[in-house]
Chain A
């Protein structure tokens, strides 16, 4: 079983300095499924993800990915276990070209630097990027940068894709575009962990969802069932 149990997080606590902002979160992201962390701004979604990926120091009873311990590991070691992040705010390498950004996603993979197969898959999913391969990433629009951040993560050929607020700051048209791409990735069998404030879209896409409030999981269940819950409606209304 240990080869394919996906991500298991138990009792994750993350602090910024002396202030604990995530208080013992439990969740799982099963292989081949889309798991979503839903919550308002400040609920601790990003902090939870940063804690799991080693970007923020954290304590946990257990953080494992396919049976391998991740707790206390530095971010580059977590990445080498096959987890790729599409970070909050996209964080493309602004001074690098689009193509260079995509190659950086594959920088640790043997032959990744010259991998045109995966590059072709990225360009197929996001034709906008193929037209702008030599442009500096910093000059792209927000939507194009989001696509680039997703393509960069795909280039790592990860076991699991982690997307932190992929719809943040994008127009409704672009949000739909990004979610169409996520559906395509889900249908290709990618394991996806998603954090999202935009609950409606996320719950439509996800198999299982966890609702976060002030650093705790307050409810979880099959995504379709949660869509009607009072808590989710409160998040949607921004209450």
Chain B
């Protein structure tokens, strides 16, 4: 696994856990806000006020793509994001293979499918929504 360079960069020290990034991500991609369907995850660790930010590292070697039996995960030529293409069977292999747990398996109208950060096609919306510059680009 070799993390990529062009990705949503995080600074967990300044995160204050508002989850605006999660909400915006979910909305932009699904026209609804769902706490399950988001490409960036904020979780409060054991200590109060300490947050963990989980987001796709857009790995250079793409372990998720390697694990995909349908071979539909590929780098988007325009944005450089590792993107899930058409024809997903929802097997969950990519989510299991991700070393960062950045792929969530979520319910899309009754079908369980993987969901991950696609850099919003080039300009990640979570970055501008973050009030603390915990996310950068």
User: Are A and B co-members of a single complex?
Assistant: no
